[in-house]
Chain A
């Protein structure tokens, strides 16, 4: 799919900020598709979140930790050499990789752990793919002295070994999951099985803008700080709104966090980038919007990679954080109504962009973020020479060095 194709559909007139509705729906997507055992839990979470959200003391506490512990606001950095390299639009990087623990994931974890404490929960569980969300969850659990269990696909335990070590050092128990393809979707199944078993004391800290309502809304709200800061920072730097935003999309939390405060600004073109793995012409990719169709999994209705019988198929991406067959329901809706254009980048595209960003800007990006970097040429061309583009640099790439070394045929032992 070329960018020209995706831009032909005009966005609908809509108040994009009015969603989800009371049933947790973004258009036809979202909802609460959980077993009856969990239904009372998600309803009480929804009520607890609404109460916290209405309480200025909750926001004061959260903002305090975001500035003194996470290190917010994160800078908006003008990427001069990338701008020169692509010869067009002015490129800014939103530096989420500078947050404590090295990715945007901690924004959400900080919000949810404060909520879990308000709810009196004493045991925290989480799923993780790349390990970034697991590390962020283990971190906030250490901060508040709460026991933490992280479910992680056995394949990801292998390819993200440094993050497993970090989680262990932070006092979390990492439980490798060997069902299915042993990646993120299977870790999420196992976390849900834990939650259904430990209903009284356990808080499930979901790491992306997915799962049953209220998670997609709540995670988005906690990640919105990215877009709110960006808005002020770009006004300060350029005196106007950006022409385009771009972010990678796994479950979609870093992307929706950047996009949401701009959704009603029709002049701002918005691009999400899914993982195309070996390529969209193959069946080895992780692009739920590009290659899936609507269905129900993990508590929400959304686009899913699935076969003709409705069995979920395995996603494939070099990036563990994007290796998921679904996508958050708000993105499914923004795709259908045409407000956000979803592109994709292959493993090879992402690797090239990974190297380019390191070489030109002295920033080693996460492989997830490299998927967004890979689509900069088209987005820059789209907005023209005087355009302003903001890219969400969702995380740093230290965790990916072994993966990149293996892919490039380097021996990590020999080069370190």
Chain B
């Protein structure tokens, strides 16, 4: 199999000695067309990867910002087929930025693992993060994704000890997503001093790049994480920018992309400033 978009992007970042910026947005938030405009604008705003949320009615690992984003997207008619459609339309204009879907298992179970993996691959999706599917339950899903060349990206957390880390690493592909705080998205702040040794541990166990997310909101936080991780993920702050723009009657796409640009600038220059 040829090198996928995720591996290619991490290899390029390593050559340039900079961290990647992963922008999380909820698919179809606040509506499918605006959602597509946001996706299309993210690479120019500095996103090295796009994490695309699959909206779910019961997002039990998400805080209020992403819960509300899911509700907006669902209310505007988004569905799993709609997510594939968005990815496909994005791919018509961008063939290199990796797309990693992130969501909960039930819509995927409902469609069926094989059908999901095949449709995701056909839509130009590169990876999947299934929040409520720990390694112990993941083999059938991992088989289907492997067969279609889609990476199953696993989560490691502050509660993952060394013994579990070996289990987490076993069938993870592309990169490992280190959840930097015990909690839901958008709630607590990550502390770079705690994150650095954890990232090193995960990198050693998996031999893969490590992205850090869940506790990063501001350019300052993103900069400090980008010094110790291979990539920094920001979600709730982007989603909040959309919500604020809607509340103030401004263009949601403009709001999200402006926030993304500020965050990506911080991530991309983080290591220069240290050196």
Residues of A within 8 A of B (CB): 23, 31-41, 179-180, 185-186, 189, 192-193, 196-199, 294-299, 301, 304, 306, 308-313
Contact = CB atoms under 8 A, between A and B. Distances in A.
Interface string B134-175: 101100000000000000001111111100100010000000
Given A180-B58, A309-B79, A36 B154 contact: yes
Contacts of A185: 58
A294 B106 CA distance: 9
- The majority secondary structure among interface residues of chain A is mixed
A309 B107 contact: yes
B134 A39 contact: yes
Contacts of A301: 109
A40 B160 contact: yes
Contact of B160 (A31, A33, A36, A180): A36
Contacts of B67: 179
Contacts of A36: 134, 154-157, 159-160, 168, 179
B37 interface: no
Contacts of A308: 110
Of B111, B136, B154, B160, most buried by chain A (CB within 10 Å of CB) is B136
B156 to A, nearest CB: 7
Contact of B132 (A179, A198, A296): A296
B132 A23 contact: no
B184 A196 contact: yes
Given A36-B155, A189-B59, A306-B106, 15 more contacts: A33-B133, A33-B137, A34-B134, A36-B179, A37-B61, A40-B159, A294-B109, A295-B106, A296-B109, A297-B58, A299-B132, A308-B110, A310-B80, A310-B106, A312-B57
Contacts of A310: 56, 80, 106-111
B143 to A, nearest CB: 16
A306 B111 CA distance: 12
28 contacts: A31-B137, A35-B61, A36-B155, A36-B159, A36-B179, A37-B179, A39-B136, A39-B159, A39-B160, A40-B160, A40-B161, A179-B67, A186-B58, A189-B60, A192-B60, A196-B60, A196-B184, A197-B183, A199-B182, A295-B109, A295-B110, A296-B104, A296-B106, A297-B58, A298-B60, A306-B110, A308-B110, A310-B107
Contacts of B179: 36-37
Nearest to B67: A179
A41 B159 CA distance: 8
Contacts of B159: 36-41, 199
Interface residues of B, number: 42
A313 B107 CA distance: 12
Nearest to B63: A193
A35 B106 contact: no
B105 interface: yes
A311 B134 contact: no
Interface in B88-140: 104-111, 131-134, 136-137
Contacts of B161: 40
A165 B187 CA distance: 30
Contacts of B60: 35, 189, 192-193, 196, 298
A296 B132 CA distance: 9
B90 to A, nearest CB: 20
Nearest to A31: B137
A176 B192 CA distance: 34
Contacts of A196: 60-61, 182-184
Contact of B131 (A35, A180, A189): A35
B149 to A, nearest CB: 23
A74 to B, nearest CB: 35
Contacts of A179: 67
Contacts of B58: 180, 185-186, 189, 297-298, 312
Contact of A33 (B105, B111, B154, B168): B105
A298 B104 CA distance: 11
A308 B137 CA distance: 23
Interface string B66-98: 010000001000011100000000000000000
Contacts of B182: 37, 196-199
B102 to A, nearest CB: 12
Contacts of A309: 79-81, 107, 110
Nearest to A189: B60
Given A189-B60, A199-B159, A312 B132 contact: no
Contacts of B57: 180, 311-313
Contacts of B164: 39-40
A301 B107 CA distance: 13
B132 A35 contact: yes
Interface string B42-59: 000000000000001111
Interface string B249-262: 00000000000000
B106 A37 contact: no
Given A40-B164, A179-B67, A311 B109 contact: no
